[in-house]
Amino acid sequence: MKERPVLDVTVVLLDDGLSSTAIMPVEIFHSAGTLWNDLHDQAPQPAFRVRTVSLSGGAVRSPYGLSITPETSLDAIERTDIIIVPTSGLDLDLKLVENSALLPWLKRHYAQGAYVAGVCMGAAYLAEAGLLDGRIATTHWAVSDRLCARYPKVRWRQDLFVTEDSRLLCSGGVYASMDVSLYLVEKLCGHEVALKCAKALLLPMPRIHQSGYAVLPVSQPHDDSRIRQVEAFLQTNLSRDVSTQDLADHAGLGARTFVRHFKAATGRLPAAYLQALRIEAAKNMLERDAKPIQSISSEVGYDDVAFFRSLFKRITGMTPTDYRAHFAPLGVRGQPAFEAP
């Protein structure tokens, strides 16, 4: 069997970010091909060489007092196969100025053939460098609106954990650093190496959708009192089947005028708004109690539980059962909380 080449991974360390967005990729790439083998008394077959760098080569600080010293500086890296850019704090304007030297460095290595991955808000550095123009990308759901407005040429997909477009990868959220790292291990070394790495570290294989984790408002802020009345009506009658005409009558408007006003105020058409409202209500129920899925489906207005399951998965990226398993209290998930004997 042909021996697999060892790939070079460069993980950038930046001040004021969450250290896990850099450390998790270091540990995953370092473990691929080695940890599973070590645990099974087999000869290690490292798939990657991992280096950490900072802009100057000096230590970087985290917002919670942790200091990390890299191996070297950006300028010392002549070539690399993979670059990981972590998150670096929420003040994006300040951070883009502080870390401006990173931008031409990313462009140079991308032009040389490197895969470049931005973790969480690290995607902003790829966008600021112009690498993401016209390409699909993602970021954390809570900052996606800011990045969408700042970089309108990017095809943002805030519903996804991991995106890849022309060797440019992005991941949404802090622990999506795990997802994008395992994704690259699988892509470049195959499923078996990635699976063994995940099992050795007790990690799940890469997640794709982050929709189920988002806490997004059903409606955008607005001052239309007539539409607010309709929203309040829908919130207290979300299980009822109501027509657009019924809602228009409630607002005291003609049907076409109502639809136009409703979309302008909320950002959604009435049917889509009600659908989103029902899914949010279902998520809340799944998070707090152990009602059967059929009962929750009926309570939010869907007598056809198969349709409800399909709709829920399409919107959140998870089945109702999976959502409950992720977010409900231990007792509700069917797993009793640990108690010492």
Answer yes or no: is pLDDT of 227 > 70: yes
Question: Which CATH number does the domain 7-213 belong to among 1.10.1740.10, 3.90.1300.10, 3.40.50.880, 3.40.50.720?
Answer: 3.40.50.880
Nearest to 172 by CA among 207, 120, 116, 136: 120
| Placement of tokens 């060892």 in the chain | 6
- Phi then psi dihedrals of residue 36, to 5 deg: -60, -45
Contacts 24+ apart (CB under 8 A), 286-292: 286/320, 286/323, 286/324, 286/327, 286/328, 287/324, 287/327, 287/328, 288/328, 288/329, 288/332, 289/328, 289/332, 290/328, 290/331, 290/332, 290/334
- 225-327: CATH number: 1.10.10.60
Mean model confidence pLDDT for the chain: 87
- pLDDT for 340: 38
Instruction: Map residue 83 onto helix, strand or coil.
Output: strand
- pLDDT for 339: 41
Say whether 148 is catalytic.
no
318 alpha-carbon distance from chain centroid: 14
Answer yes or no: is pLDDT of 210 > 70: no
How large a percentage of the chain has pLDDT more than 90? 51
Query: Residue 218's pLDDT band (boundaries 50, 70, 90)?
Result: low
pLDDT in tens, 150-192: 999 999 887 778 888 889 999 887 778 888 998 899 889 988 8
Catalytic choice (120, 170, 189, 197): 120
pLDDT in tens, 41-61: 888 888 999 999 999 999 999
pLDDT in tens, 71-124: 999 999 999 999 999 998 888 899 999 999 999 999 999 999 999 999 988 999
Contact status, residue 198 vs residue 182, Cβ threshold 8 Å: yes
Contact status, residue 10 vs residue 77, Cβ threshold 8 Å: yes
Residues of the chain with CATH 3.40.50.880: 7-213
pLDDT in tens, 262-311: 999 988 899 999 998 899 889 888 877 888 999 999 999 999 999 999 99
Length of the chain: 341
Name 105's Cβ contacts closer than 8 Å, sequence gap at least 6. Answer: 74
Compute the average pLDDT of residues 26-42: 88
Answer yes or no: is pLDDT of 341 > 50: no
